[in-house]
Amino acid sequence: MEQRKIAFIGGGNMARSLISGLINAGHPAHLIHVTDLDQDKLTELAEQFGIQAGMDNALAAQQADVLVLAVKPQYMAEMLTALTATLGDYQHKLVISIAAGISVTRLSELLGGHGNIVRTMPNTPALIGLGMTGLFAAPNVSLADCDFAEQMLQAVGKTVWVGDEAGINSVIAASGSAPAYFFLFMQLIAEEAERMGFSAEQARLLVQQTALGSAQMVVDNPHLDLETLRAQVTSKGGTTAEAIRSFEEQGLAQLVSQAMQAAVQRAEEMEQLF
């Protein structure tokens, strides 16, 4: 990865995970600057990673080659309006957004017409280096800037590019929101296991180790599709087959489809809010 100066505007969990990933990947700490309104958070980040930290967004952005927008969507317009009024011109800076619900067009408007923008959608497993991030680049973003954005997000997991911006909303449905789907399914299994007589600790162990092992089997068998892996566990006439039959009768496939489409619809609605 190129050794560019990076400014994070916002020092929340996702920014922290990206900073940690960058440091672990060998990016020099002195080239990373983070800003936030919480002085305690800034002090902690500076002490933990040896990076620059402060409350002056304009100073951090002015000195940076890459600007990472990591504030909550509802605060983005106010923050960028003030920042753009101070800076005036973002010159050739690469702007990377990790905020949900704000389109490239809207970001460009808030950035005074600046168009060198990559919009990304990471998910929470990025906090442990196992994230999945979708990326979309505005039409005029250079290959070098696309490569930098990709490498930065790969410091906390895997990445996939989408060809049009609407694909980011599909990424939200398929991976951005998806950890919650899995957590919900695990929660329901654990709760039923407790009703069957297991302690809470035993139920959690049963579920989390099974989920971990199942995910690793997917990773270790890229030549097998998910349907085949499922079928290999489903002996005809056996207990698993009976459970799968019950899922199918209750319309699980339709429920999953409806849930994912609901996530996409909400993402589209959010783009009109900010």
**CATH code: domain of residue 224:** 1.10.3730.10
Looking at the structure, do residues 35 and 149 belong to the same domain, yes or no? yes
Is residue 193 one of the residues assigned to a domain? yes
The phi, psi pair for 70, rounded to 5°, reads: -125, 30
Is residue 171 one of the residues assigned to a domain? no
Is residue 172 one of the residues assigned to a domain? no
Looking at the structure, do residues 203 and 251 belong to the same domain, yes or no? yes
DSSP tag of 126: G
Residue-level pLDDT, tens digit, the chain, 274 residues: 899 999 999 999 999 999 999 999 999 999 999 999 999 999 999 999 999 999 999 999 999 999 999 999 999 999 999 999 999 889 899 999 999 899 999 999 999 999 999 999 999 999 999 999 999 999 999 999 999 999 999 999 999 999 999 999 999 999 999 999 999 999 999 999 999 999 999 999 999 999 999 999 999 999 999 999 999 999 999 999 999 999 999 999 999 999 999 999 999 999 999 8
**Of 134, 166, 198, which one is at a domain's C-terminal end?**
166
Q: Which domain holds residue 262?
A: 178-270
Is residue 1 one of the residues assigned to a domain? no
Domain count, the chain: 2
Looking at the structure, do residues 69 and 112 belong to the same domain, yes or no? yes
- Give the separation between CA 32 and CA 133, rounded to whole angstroms: 21
The predicted structure's pLDDT at residue 1 = 83
Is residue 120 one of the residues assigned to a domain? yes
- pTM for the predicted model, two decimal places: 0.93
Beta bridge partners of 234: none
The predicted structure's pLDDT at residue 214 = 98
Beta bridge partners of 133: 159
Looking at the structure, do residues 34 and 99 belong to the same domain, yes or no? yes
Looking at the structure, do residues 140 and 218 belong to the same domain, yes or no? no
Looking at the structure, do residues 244 and 182 belong to the same domain, yes or no? yes
Cβ(235)–Cβ(241) below 8 Å: yes
Looking at the structure, do residues 29 and 143 belong to the same domain, yes or no? yes
Token pair of 35 as six digits:
């800003």
Is residue 69 one of the residues assigned to a domain? yes
Cβ(50)–Cβ(77) below 8 Å: no
**Of 144, 166, 188, which one is at a domain's C-terminal end?**
166
**CATH code: domain of residue 66:** 3.40.50.720
Looking at the structure, do residues 203 and 160 belong to the same domain, yes or no? no
